[in-house]
Amino acid sequence: MKIISVKSVYEEIKKNRKAINNVITRVKKGDLQGFTPPSTLVGEFNYPKVSVGIIFTTDENAYLYDSPKYWVKTGYDVAKIFSMRTTLVNARDKVDVRKPDENFMQKISFATMSRNDLSIDFKLSKAYDGGLLSETVAPHGITADLKSFHLNENFRIDHPIEKVYYDRDFNAIDAINYLYKNGIDDNKINKVLSVGAIGVKRRLVPTKWAITAVDDSVGKGLIDEIKDFDAEDDYFVKTGTVLGNHFIFLFLKGTWSFELIETWNRNGNSLITGESDYEFYEGRKDYVHNTAGAYYAIRLAVLETLKTMKKQFSVIVIREITPEYFAPLGVWVVREGARKVLGNPAESSVDMPKLIKNAKSKLLYPIDIENKSKIINLKEKQKILSDF
């Protein structure tokens, strides 16, 4: 389910029209120097023949255009991030995943793995106004056909990335977890996976799929660790709002389980309560369908918190999407938003009824948590059975 406010998107683009037009004019000249954070984008449309592009800006401060942690830390708002991203260009070419041009992909891979901004000379043809809007991938505003490109400076690659790139005995999942445990940001890991730079059998992976794959793979590794911790008897709530996303985290005593419930309010009076997704202690056998990439992103943030606490809980998350979040900025919003909110103080409750009452008092929009939550329903059934 989309949460795009078309009117708000249109108004924001209109305010930024001059900057967008200036970039389009420069792109249409064909030869252009640009700067990448670095960032690349692999599309999923028409798979296995997909578009592979370098995302760049004409601003030398390229890192500012792809820095989710920095945006959240410094308090960027939705409009500022959206406006910045709409001036980005996706310089793309078509690639067959089954038989990619090796020289092209090697250059793309090294550009993606670099930890420093790169200056690139582009030869482009055509420019298309109106870029990507996606719940999973951060937006860009302009698309251009890429004829060729040349890296103007040496790239510097962090050692963990260099290791998994050259070591072809690392399967993709082990490589993902190795990079995560060695401090590589998940925003970088999904890009490296996407361009086929890790794994035994290497292949391009659409960026949208790579983001979810990284969140899921790292999450599963953390779940194995969490299950070794003691199950706690506490009940507490954490809450907060980041970029128009209001989170309520309910921590319930018991073994590991997780659930995400989402509520949308597009314009202040159009309330939509979505279906939840969940997993009990045994885990899931298939990918979630209702809350999509947000599920794995928020689950990762929760698991990181439990690992730090060295405790095991059942966790229910309610994500309320307010009119402030007028356009999708990518799944990083919920990952970084959840991480920030989970750093807020906790409010304890003596039992589950008090916990639910406290959580309801934090809601922006009414929701029947008791009937909506699969975890609460299961725990209530378990209590009834234990009373016999």
pLDDT in tens, 9-20: 777 777 888 888
Among 26-30, 96-100, 106-110, 378-382, name the one with the lowest average pLDDT.
Answer: 378-382
Digit-coded pLDDT (tens) for 166-206: 999 999 999 999 999 999 999 999 999 999 999 999 999 99
For residue 69, is pLDDT > 50?
yes
- Give the tokens for residue 243: 């970029």
Among 5-19, 151-165, 318-332, 351-365, name the one with the lowest average pLDDT.
Answer: 5-19
Backbone angles phi, psi at 219, to 5 degrees: -60, -45
User: Is 88 within 8 Å of 55 (Cβ atoms)?
Assistant: yes
Backbone angles phi, psi at 144, to 5 degrees: -135, 150
- Indicate the average pLDDT of the chain: 91
Distance CA 348, CA 236 (A): 4
Find tokens 């389910």 and name the residue.
1
Digit-coded pLDDT (tens) for 137-150: 888 889 999 999 99
Q: How sure is the predictor about 2, in pLDDT bands with cuts at 50, 70 and 90?
A: very low
Q: How sure is the predictor about 385, in pLDDT bands with cuts at 50, 70 and 90?
A: low
Digit-coded pLDDT (tens) for 212-270: 999 999 999 999 999 999 998 899 999 999 999 999 999 999 999 999 999 988 666 66
pLDDT of residue 14: 79
Mean pLDDT for the stretch of residues 326-347 = 95
Our measurement of the distance from residue 302's CA atom to the centroid of its chain's CA atoms, rounded to an integer in Å, reads 14
- Give the tokens for residue 30: 């064909």
Q: How sure is the predictor about 315, in pLDDT bands with cuts at 50, 70 and 90?
A: very high
Model confidence, pTM: 0.94
Our measurement of the distance from residue 182's CA atom to the centroid of its chain's CA atoms, rounded to an integer in Å, reads 19
pLDDT of residue 3: 45
pLDDT of residue 126: 85
Q: What percent of the chain has pLDDT over 90?
A: 77
Backbone angles phi, psi at 367, to 5 degrees: -150, 140
Q: Is 32 helix (H, G, I), strand (E, B) or coil?
A: strand
pLDDT of residue 388: 44
Q: How sure is the predictor about 282, in pLDDT bands with cuts at 50, 70 and 90?
A: very high
Alpha-carbon dihedral 368, 238, 308, 290, rounded to 10 degrees: 40
